């Protein structure tokens, strides 16, 4: 076991321990409170908030992945070619929209709560995945697709057996970016009354209780770093595998 | 099959339907049958939608109908993109002028409480024609100066529209009118946060990038650390900085006097700076690593010192890549600066979060629209710059 892995497991264990029994860590945050303010967030269970936060991100990212990969496949097929230039610039323009703006503008249509957060996360999460899938599918070496064609593969077989597996690491990089952005946007989602970890930070800011702000920030930050790290590891493993696969094909 | 193939196959090519056009026309059609404007008795009650036919004086409604008909026709046919671009801009201009007209028409005389804002129909129509314009622009592949020119023309047109008072009866401008001084103050803060943090990050990040390029063993460690910072969600990072900065303010003499404190502009600035470092540093390293060895050899052969080589060969050759990093960071920070409002740092986010708190969506728009416009303009201008410096380099 490498040192990196040990550190990661330790951090994860510490995070889980804190979420399950936050009171045992009260002494860490004690010095940050003034005037007998509560030390540990007391308007809901931290574990519930964390699970809810992760659930929202998971649903939004799963939906965004399905739709974005589907759309990217459509516009890279011959019959969708007319949509390719526009969809490429749309993905580019769309990412200049700040996530907060997307979130705030979803409220008039959907009211307060989890719904606008999910929609904002979904819409905003689409773009990096879509852009990366496009890059992955259009950037394949022509020799590989030619070879597949030469082997008599149909368009569908080429897509499923050659193009998608080779594009997978790039697509995964898009999913990783999208997940990290979603984790951050979900935190801001608590300003529109979604039950996420942002609640802890904002409650701390409103009552100027630095202990709350710090716990919320630490939980969200640690989650983001661990998830980012885990997805990067999967990506590296896949790149290694498809790299070998590509060599075998050539 | 590309568009060119299809065009060459059929003699009456322009009569053929444009697949993309059909899709956009469906969006536009939905927009026609949805409320063009929304009328509310005051700024926070639910509104009632008003269709185009009753949202405008009869002559204006007929004019809008005709313009939309021509616009949708152009969408459907396979005509020259330049013609589509022109018609698209005319339709958008008509929509923008008439939404103001509609607000004037729907507001009862001497009623200062009622609000008129654009309805779903207006937004869908704008979206459809903006798609048409974007598609035409993508196909026309304009050069960098032309793109900046178009952006400037659109900016001037919008400024003229706002200046003329044609929109004064729209709800978003009523929100603006009651807080104009605050708006300009927050706008200054927002620009200071976004541009200031990027400027500091350039001054710190480029030398750091050069250092990492020269001292290879440091590279992975520093880049990984910056990567972790980049991963931490913005509001969490803002929050995590409150405690240390409050400590600095309380314990370092003079720190509080120059404006450092736990909440406010200081933590926002530090967080935005921290976010900006990774793209700038890593792009500097990548740009320098990719300088062709031949260029470096030639420079060495000419007897250049390391320092001369850095300033007259390596940095100029790496510049487009560094500029791409700056573009990413600037657009990102213009958006992230809205979050600063949550920790008392000001900026356009103040209106967004106030609006969310009061369920006054026009106030949210007052914060969100300038932010989006600013981010978009910055992206267009810097993309153009990146293209200019990279083509100049290739030409040399």
**Residue range A72-85, pLDDT digits in tens:** 999 988 888 888 88
ipTM exceeds 0.85 = no
pLDDT digits (tens, 9 = 90+) for B212-232: 998 888 888 888 888 888 888
**Out of A101, A192, A198, closest to residue B235 by CB:** A198
Please check whether residues B100 and B188 belong to one and the same domain. Answer: no
The pLDDT assigned to B261 comes to: 66
E-assigned strand segments in chain B: 37-40, 48-50, 115-118
Assess if residue B171 is contained within a domain. no
Residue B226 lies in a domain: yes
Domain-located, residue B354:
yes
pTM of the model: 0.86
Nearest CB partner across the interface for B233, out of A86, A92, A184: A184
Q: Which residue among B237, B352, B376 sits closest to A96, beta carbon to beta carbon?
A: B376
Claim to verify: residue B130 and residue B202 sit in the same structural domain: no
Count of the separate structural domains present in chain B: 2
DSSP assignment of B216-227 equals HHHHHHHHHHHH
Q: What is the CATH number of the domain that holds B286?
A: 1.10.3720.10
Closest Cβ–Cβ partner in B23, B228, B239 for A216 = B239
Q: Which CATH superfamily is domain A42-249 in?
A: MetI-like (1.10.3720.10)
Strand partners, B118: B37
- For residue A104, the distance in angstroms to the closest alpha carbon of chain B comes to 7
Which pair of tokens denotes residue A23? 């009171």
Same domain, B224 and B336: yes
Measured CA to CA, the distance from residue B103 to residue B56 in angstroms comes to 9
Enumerate the domain spans of chain A. 42-249
> How many other C-beta atoms are found inside a 10 Å radius of the C-beta of residue B303?
7
Burial status of residue A36 (CB atoms within 10 A of its CB: 0-12, 13-18, 19 or more) = exposed
CA distance A15 to chain B (A): 15
In a domain, B84, yes or no: yes
In-domain check, residue B301: yes
β pairing state of B37-40 and B115-118: antiparallel
How confident is the model at residue B7, as a pLDDT?
43
Which of B141, B166, B201 is where one domain is finished?
Answer: B141
Domain boundary among B121, B141, B161: B141
> Taking CA atoms, what residue in B is nearest to A220?
B236
Is the domain of B127 the same as that of B249? Answer: no
DSSP character string of B321-353: HHHHHHHHHHHHHHHHGGGGGGGT--STHHHHH
Helix axes B265-289, B234-251, angle to 10 degrees: 120
Structure tokens at A164: 């998608």
The whole domain housing B34 covers 3-141
- The 10s digit of each residue's pLDDT in B332-371 is 999 999 988 888 888 999 999 898 888 888 888 899 999 9
Sign of the four-CA dihedral A239, A245, A248, A249: negative
Kindly report the number of other CB atoms within 10 A of residue B164's CB atom. 11
Give domain status of residue B128, yes or no. yes
Minimal C-alpha gap between B131 and chain A (Å)? 8
Q: Measure in Å the smallest separation between the Cα of A167 and chain B Cα atoms.
A: 22
Asked if B34 and B100 sit in the same domain, the reply is yes
3-state secondary structure of B115: strand
pLDDT band at B158 (very low <50, low <70, confident <90, very high): very high
Where is the domain boundary, B141, B170, B201?
A: B141
Cβ distance A105 to B335 less than 8 Å, yes or no, reads no
Residue that wins the pLDDT comparison between A106 and A182? A182
Residues B44 and B100 in one domain: yes
Residue A162 pLDDT exceeds 90: no
User: Which strands make up the sheet holding B115-118, listed edge to edge?
Assistant: B48-50, B37-40, B115-118
Q: Considering only CA atoms, which of B364, B18, B393 is closest in space to residue B172? A: B364
Q: Is A36 helix (H, G, I), strand (E, B) or coil?
A: coil
């Amino acid at each position: 076991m490498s040192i990196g892995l040990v550190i990661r497991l330790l951090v994860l264990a510490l995070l889980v321990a804190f979420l399950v029994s936050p009171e045992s860590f009260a002494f860490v945050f004690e010095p940050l409170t003034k005037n007998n303010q509560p030390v540990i967030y007391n308007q809901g269970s931290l574990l519930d908030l964390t699970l809810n936060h992760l659930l929202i991100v998971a649903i939004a990212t799963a939906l965004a992945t399905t739709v974005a990969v589907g759309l990217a496949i459509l516009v890279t097929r011959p019959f969708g070619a007319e949509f390719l230039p526009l969809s490429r610039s749309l993905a580019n323009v769309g990412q200049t929209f700040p996530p907060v703006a997307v979130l705030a503008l979803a409220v008039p249509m959907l009211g307060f709560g989890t719904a606008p957060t999910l929609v904002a996360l979904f819409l905003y999460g689409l773009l990096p995945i879509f852009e990366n899938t496009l890059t992955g599918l259009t950037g394949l070496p022509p020799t590989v697709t030619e070879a597949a064609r030469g082997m008599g593969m149909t368009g569908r077989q080429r897509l499923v057996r050659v193009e998608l597996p080779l594009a997978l690491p790039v697509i995964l990089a898009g999913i990783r970016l999208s997940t990290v952005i979603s984790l951050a946007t979900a935190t801001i989602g608590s300003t529109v009354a979604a039950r996420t970890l942002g609640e802890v930070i904002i409650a701390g800011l409103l009552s100027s209780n630095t202990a709350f702000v710090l716990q919320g920030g630490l939980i969200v930050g640690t989650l983001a770093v661990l998830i980012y790290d885990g997805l990067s590891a999967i990506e590296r493993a896949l790149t290694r595998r498809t790299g070998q696969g590509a060599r075998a094909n050539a | 099959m590309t568009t060119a193939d299809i065009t060459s196959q059929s003699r009456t090519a322009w009569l053929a339907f444009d697949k993309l056009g059909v899709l956009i026309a469906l969006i536009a059609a939905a927009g026609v049958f949805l409320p063009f404007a929304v009328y509310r008795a005051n700024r926070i009650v639910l509104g009632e939608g008003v269709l185009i036919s009753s949202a405008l004086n009869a002559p204006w409604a007929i004019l809008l109908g005709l313009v939309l008909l021509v616009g949708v026709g152009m969408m459907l046919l396979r005509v020259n993109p330049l013609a589509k671009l022109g018609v698209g801009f005319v339709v958008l201009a008509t929509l923008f002028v008439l939404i103001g007209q509609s607000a004037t028409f729907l507001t009862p005389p001497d009623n200062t409480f009622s609000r008129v804002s654009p309805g779903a129909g207006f937004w869908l129509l704008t979206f459809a024609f903006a798609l048409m314009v974007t598609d035409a622009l993508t196909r026309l592949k304009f050069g960098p100066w032309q793109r900046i020119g178009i952006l400037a023309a659109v900016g001037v047109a919008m400024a003229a529209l706002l200046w003329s008072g044609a929109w004064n009866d729209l709800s978003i401008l009523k929100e603006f009118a009651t807080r104009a001084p605050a708006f300009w103050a927050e706008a200054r803060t927002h620009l200071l946060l976004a541009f200031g943090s990027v400027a500091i990050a350039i001054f710190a990040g480029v030398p750091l990038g050069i250092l990492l390029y020269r001292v290879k063993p440091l590279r992975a460690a520093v880049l990984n650390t910056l990567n972790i910072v980049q991963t931490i969600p913005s509001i969490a990072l803002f929050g995590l900085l409150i405690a240390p900065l409050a400590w600095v303010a309380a314990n370092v003499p003079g720190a509080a006097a120059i404006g450092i404190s736990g909440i406010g502009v200081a933590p926002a600035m530090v967080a935005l700076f921290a976010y900006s470092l990774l793209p700038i540093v890593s792009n500097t390293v990548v740009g320098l690593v990719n300088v062709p060895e031949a260029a470096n050899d030639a420079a060495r052969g000419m007897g250049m010192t390391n320092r001369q080589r850095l300033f007259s060969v390596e940095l100029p050759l790496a510049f487009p890549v560094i500029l791409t990093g700056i573009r990413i960071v600037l657009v990102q920070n213009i958006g992230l600066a809205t979050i600063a409002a949550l920790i008392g740092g000001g900026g356009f986010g103040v209106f967004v979060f106030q609006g969310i708190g009061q369920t006054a969506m026009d106030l949210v728009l007052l914060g969100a629209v300038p932010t989006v416009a600013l981010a978009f303009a910055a992206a267009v201008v810097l993309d153009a710059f990146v293209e200019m410096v990279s083509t100049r380099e290739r030409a040399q």
